[in-house]
Each structure stands twice: as structure tokens, then as C-alpha cells.
Chains A and B, each alone.
Chain A
């Protein structure tokens, strides 16, 4: 699903201030894997995530997503990749403030050109799945952090993407709510067979993942199975 070879990301290339954020990443993630990426802030894990998600372009190396070389796509094709193949979940939820939960979930489908009635139907189904059906007409400022993140997960699933990319999805939540959100990811992985790439600070949550990749100073320093893989966040 994800193939990276000697991927680099540099800023201010060719100037004395040149910064290397990613210094040659070789990474292969197969379809249906649940991968946690851990590392300290500034380690480059978010940059890696943005490149995986076709939001950012690498400075060098190769990246293939589902067989498509991403670095050769134009703006429009990249938008299409983000729309159809990837579902983003952010630490700060990033819901559109003036739109209801339902409209937020519908948004990726609007961009995919799906007609109103099937779009609305699917959005309701996804919100029901996240136990948010009753609050679908609420606006983001009327929802708690955990509820917002569940709406955001429903939105990420809207166009049935191959990959879910979650950037510290529990970072803004208390630990109990965070665990509940983690359980949702585990369930989606189990039931929907999605490929999930999950960035976290929390060693505790990372241990629940079947595969844990640790990044330091822009390089992968370890790639192993989580010690409590297969368990539940609450358990």
C-alpha cells in the first residue's frame, strides 16, 4: 500500500540554513496494517505523515501509494488522492465550525461529487456507527472533545478510503476519552480492514498497535511489534 525508498525532506535547500527533516526513509506498509509512528516532537513524524497523506511533497526519494508514484502527480490529482484514498484525523479535530456534524461528514463526499441524498444517507450511517447519530445536527462548538473526534473519524471514513492517517488523535483528549477513541481505531481496523497509520506520543497507546515505528531525527530507529498488540485500550 505504502512504499517509500530513500525519502527525504529538506527546507531552505542550498542555503546555509538548510534543514533536513527527513533523512532517507525506507518504509513499506502493507494493506490492512495498523502502524503506530512514535517519536519526540521535532523528530519528523508529522512531516512523514503529511507526505504519506499527499499534503506535502518530498524533496527526494520515491513514494508510491497503492502503486501510484505520488511525486509525479499535479495539484488536482493530489487533491483527488487525498479525497478518495486517504482519511485524515487531526489532533485538534479540524471540524468546519459553521457546519453541523452531518455537514462536516458530508464534506469529503461533496468534493467527490456525490449527490445529495446518497451523501446524506452515508453520512448518517457513519455518524450512527460512531454513536453520534443523535447529535448529527449539532455544531462543533456544541460537542465535547471526544464527540468532535468521533465526528472527525466519521468524516475521515466518508469516501471509504484505503488508509486512515491519524495525527495524535488522542493528544487533545483526557486519557479515558483517548482510550475510547483508540478503541474505535482498533475496531475499524478489525472490522473494516483499513490500513491505519497512527502518530502518537503515548507509549501506552503505541503498545496496542501490531507494528510500532520509532522515528528520531528524521530516521527510522526501530520497527517492531507492539508489546500488547491485539488487546483493547480499556483492557
Chain B
């Protein structure tokens, strides 16, 4: 076998230009397949990671205005739900008892944006009332002190967890921030808090986008009960549920949806909803997959044409070397030896084309990923698959010419000039 491959290399080298042109079809086909798949993968991966940041496994519950019936949309009066329309703490507790799938849930409420200040030092913050589950749902990474506890919420204590950026801006270091007092000015009120924890601020594509030149605004978390003290509504419009690992998200979301539907069955203006990001991601992915598939099919046609090119050139090669085949048969070559020789040559052609195509395709994929700003993914299984596929092309399109060569009558082949 190695013998045959070396032999085929020799004969390909003898016709460099022709071999290259034949390979070109395969090169174009393979490189476009590789490029398309790697760019597609990069896009999918970047979308997936963006979704994961948002908490792909979380289920969001909430209420929204009923859009059915004759009610027409009036832009001048955006409806605000009354407190009685909102989800109460008691209702939320019942929910937790009804659904053992719930590991924890995250409650939050915007308590205004403003500045944290100590003396002359300030830092922009957005004040958010949170419960214990918020940290888990939003991947808040505590670096010093502690997070808001159940007791803080029950007592509605004036405690705050600030970002490392805020701590450094105001106290100079995150260590001296713990236990310090801080004044937070919002549009509505001036409040004093005790800093109990510092979390690590992570810049992400989703949150913390600031205009150039403006100061970075980071979150400051206070107990949700403390935030509600200053707000007209005590109940919640939405909350995030974190299900236990292994929960069937689709089924769970449906169950929650049904439960909320029942809860709001008698409400004329408002209805409950449950929503999960994963189903959204899946539909996005399926669109991208079918797009990739369509382009890959076109590349597949290029490969088919390339394969026919290989077959054509192999037929020429067999005719050209008829006399040589006769000599080989006179020396005792079996049909299988001749067949293997020509199949090896075709495989060599297409695999070499495939390898060049892979290198080219990876280059294109890399450039393409950079262009769309997605991380480049090296699809190893695609590379293996492509090598196998080009080998298959060689065998498939090389077999007929090779068999033709093998079946030649020795004396006719030998007499052929």
C-alpha cells in the first residue's frame, strides 16, 4: 500500500500542472466547506456564550398587558399594573412550594440611578433591590465581605454590596470599603448605607455599556425589602426562577406558564407569562444551522465537480499509460495490483487537494471569524471528516478508471503505443 502511494506520488509529480489543476476542484470544494463550517461554528459559539451570560437555564416569570380583545394600543397611556395586579410575596412563596423544581428565585427591582459619595469622591451606581437568589441568577462574584442575607431582607436593613470599581473609587481599596458608610444619591432620595460586600465587576457585551467619556456605572445591591420602602409598588412585575439541575426546561416552563395563566385567569387587563432563553437560542441555532447546511450543499456540488475532474484525469492517465499497464501485466501484475495503483493515485490526488483545501479553508475561516468578530473555533471533527470525505471521493471517482485499467487485456495493452 505504501509502495502504491509512493508510486502514485511519482506519477503525479511527473504531471505537476495537470495534477494541480485536477486538485483545484477538490481544493475549492474542501476549503469552502471548512471555511463555512468554521465561521458558522464561531457565530453559533458567540451567540451561545452571549445567551449563557444572560442565564440560559433560568426561567423568567412576569406579567404583561393582555393584548387580545378590542383594546387598541394607545401610546400616550402606557399601562402600569396596579399593586394588586402584581405578584405578591405571598404568591411567590406559594409558587416556590408548588414547584419543587425551583432551586431558588431571584427578585430584583430598580431603585434608581445616581451617585455613591463619600466626601468629595463619587462613583456612578445603579441601585437595585435584590433578594438572595439574585446573585446566583446573575452570576455576581463576591470578592470581599458578604452578600445580602435573608435577615437583611426581613429587617429591611440599609446595607449595600458595591462593585470593586466603586469601592476603589471611593475608598481607594476594596478592603477598606467593608463596614464603611456610604451615601447614595438617586433621583428621588438620598440614603445612607453600610457596605457589607464587594463584588467583582465584569464588563460584558450585555451590561455596562457606557458612552465614551462618561463614567462607568456599576450596580449597587441593597435588600429588596429596603428598596420597596421607597417605592409605590410593593409587589413584583417579574422574577427569575433558577430550576434545579436536570430539570426539563421546556416542560417546566410550560407548567409555570399554565400555573400563571390560572392565577391571572380572572384578570381582564393582565396575564402571566413564563419564558426560557434556551428555546430562543435553539431557534436561533436552527436557523443558522440550516443556513450553513444550504451553503455546505453548494460546496458539496463543487466537490462533486472536483471528483468528476479527478475521474476525467484518471481516465486520461489510464489511456496514456496503457502500454505501461501491459508491461506491468507481462511482469505478472494481478488485476488487483493495477486497480490499487490507480485508485491510490486518485486518492492521493484528492487527499492532497483535500489537505491543501483544509489549510486554505482554515485560513479563510479564521479571517471570516475575525471579520464577524466571533471567536475562531477549530472544528477537529470537521477536519477528520473532510479528510475521510476526500479519500472517499478519490476511491469513488478513481475506481471506474482504475477498474478499466485493471481489466485491460495484457497483450492488447502491451501492443498499444
- B277-329 with Cβ < 8 A to chain A: 323-324, 327-329
A99-B10, A111-B337 known; A56 vs B332 contact (CB < 8 Å): no
Q: Which residues of B contact A107 (CB under 8 A)?
A: 328, 331
Give bound CA distance, A201 to B7, whole Å. 36
Q: Do the beta carbons of B332 and A50 come within 8 Å of each other?
A: no
Min distance, Cβ A42 to any Cβ of chain B, angstroms: 14
A50-B411, A55-B410 known; A98 vs B14 contact (CB < 8 Å): yes
Q: Do the beta carbons of A88 and B334 come within 8 Å of each other?
A: no
Q: Do the beta carbons of B331 and A83 come within 8 Å of each other?
A: yes
Please encode chain B, from 214 to 253, with 1 for each CB lying within 8 Å of some chain A CB and 0 for all others: 0000000000000000000000000000000000000000
Q: Do the beta carbons of A83 and B332 come within 8 Å of each other?
A: yes
Q: Which residues of A contact B3 (CB under 8 A)?
A: 110
Point out the residue from A76, A78, A82, A98 that lies within 8 Å of B331, measured CB to CB: A82
Q: Which residues of B contact A78 (CB under 8 A)?
A: 410
- Is B414 part of the binding interface, using a Cβ–Cβ cutoff of 8 Å? yes
Q: Do the beta carbons of A76 and B334 come within 8 Å of each other?
A: yes
- Is B175 part of the binding interface, using a Cβ–Cβ cutoff of 8 Å? no
A55-B410, A56-B411 known; A82 vs B330 contact (CB < 8 Å): yes
CB closest chain-B residue, reference A79 = B334
- Is B335 part of the binding interface, using a Cβ–Cβ cutoff of 8 Å? yes
- Is A27 part of the binding interface, using a Cβ–Cβ cutoff of 8 Å? no
Point out the residue from B14, B327, B332 that lies within 8 Å of A80, measured CB to CB: B332
- Is A219 part of the binding interface, using a Cβ–Cβ cutoff of 8 Å? no
Q: Which residues of B contact A50 (CB under 8 A)?
A: 411
Q: Do the beta carbons of B327 and A96 come within 8 Å of each other?
A: yes
- Is A94 part of the binding interface, using a Cβ–Cβ cutoff of 8 Å? yes
Interface size on A, residues (CB 8 A): 26
- Is A125 part of the binding interface, using a Cβ–Cβ cutoff of 8 Å? no
- Is B11 part of the binding interface, using a Cβ–Cβ cutoff of 8 Å? yes
Min distance, Cβ B405 to any Cβ of chain A, angstroms: 14
CB closest chain-B residue, reference A51 = B411
Q: Do the beta carbons of A112 and B11 come within 8 Å of each other?
A: no
The B interface, classified by DSSP as helix, strand, loop or mixed, is helix
Give bound CA distance, A131 to B44, whole Å. 69
Q: Which residues of A contact B329 (CB under 8 A)?
A: 55, 79, 82
Q: Which residues of B contact A112 (CB under 8 A)?
A: 332
Q: Do the beta carbons of B335 and A108 come within 8 Å of each other?
A: no
- Is B333 part of the binding interface, using a Cβ–Cβ cutoff of 8 Å? yes
Q: Which residues of A contact B411 (CB under 8 A)?
A: 50, 55-56
CB closest chain-A residue, reference B10 = A98
Q: Which residues of B contact A148 (CB under 8 A)?
A: none
Q: Do the beta carbons of A79 and B11 come within 8 Å of each other?
A: no
Q: Do the beta carbons of B334 and A111 come within 8 Å of each other?
A: yes
Please encode chain A, from 79 to 118, with 1 for each CB lying within 8 Å of some chain B CB and 0 for all others: 1101110001010001011110000000110111000000
A55-B414, A110-B3 known; A94 vs B334 contact (CB < 8 Å): no
Min distance, Cβ B78 to any Cβ of chain A, angstroms: 83
Min distance, Cβ A147 to any Cβ of chain B, angstroms: 18
Min distance, Cβ A97 to any Cβ of chain B, angstroms: 8
- Is A226 part of the binding interface, using a Cβ–Cβ cutoff of 8 Å? no
Which of B7, B10, B332 has the most A CB atoms < 10 Å from its CB? B332
Give bound CA distance, A76 to B331, whole Å. 13
Q: Which residues of B contact A84 (CB under 8 A)?
A: 332
Q: Do the beta carbons of B331 and A155 come within 8 Å of each other?
A: yes
Give bound CA distance, A55 to B331, whole Å. 10
CB closest chain-B residue, reference A78 = B410
- Is A53 part of the binding interface, using a Cβ–Cβ cutoff of 8 Å? yes
Q: Do the beta carbons of B331 and A75 come within 8 Å of each other?
A: no
Please encode chain B, from 401 to 417, with 1 for each CB lying within 8 Å of some chain A CB and 0 for all others: 00000000011001000
Q: Do the beta carbons of A75 and B327 come within 8 Å of each other?
A: no
Min distance, Cβ B16 to any Cβ of chain A, angstroms: 13
A55-B414, A56-B411, A96-B324 known; A111 vs B11 contact (CB < 8 Å): no
Point out the residue from A75, A83, A88, A94 that lies within 8 Å of B335, measured CB to CB: A75
Point out the residue from B324, B327, B328, B330 that lies within 8 Å of A53, measured CB to CB: B330
Point out the residue from B10, B14, B323, B332 that lies within 8 Å of A79, measured CB to CB: B332
Give bound CA distance, A111 to B330, whole Å. 11
Give bound CA distance, A50 to B411, whole Å. 8
Give bound CA distance, A230 to B60, whole Å. 108
Give bound CA distance, A31 to B86, whole Å. 111
CB closest chain-A residue, reference B334 = A79
- Is A159 part of the binding interface, using a Cβ–Cβ cutoff of 8 Å? yes
Q: Which residues of B contact A83 (CB under 8 A)?
A: 331-333
Q: Which residues of B contact A56 (CB under 8 A)?
A: 410-411
A50-B411, A110-B3 known; A88 vs B10 contact (CB < 8 Å): no
Q: Do the beta carbons of A108 and B331 come within 8 Å of each other?
A: yes
Give bound CA distance, A53 to B7, whole Å. 27
Q: Which residues of B contact A155 (CB under 8 A)?
A: 331
Min distance, Cβ A166 to any Cβ of chain B, angstroms: 13
Between A and B, 7 residue pairs with Cβ closer than 8 Å are A79-B332, A80-B334, A88-B330, A99-B10, A108-B332, A111-B331, A111-B337
Residues of B within 8 A of A (CB): 3, 7, 10-11, 14, 323-324, 327-335, 337, 410-411, 414
Given contact pairs A79-B329, A110-B337, A111-B331, enumerate 16 new A-B contacts (beta carbons under 8 Å).
Answer: A55-B410, A55-B411, A56-B410, A56-B411, A76-B334, A76-B335, A79-B335, A80-B334, A82-B331, A82-B332, A96-B328, A97-B324, A107-B328, A111-B328, A111-B332, A112-B332
The 6 closest A-B CB pairs, nearest first, are A83-B332, A56-B411, A94-B327, A82-B332, A108-B331, A111-B332
Residues of A within 8 A of B (CB): 50, 53, 55-56, 75-76, 78-80, 82-84, 88, 90, 94, 96-99, 107-108, 110-112, 155, 159
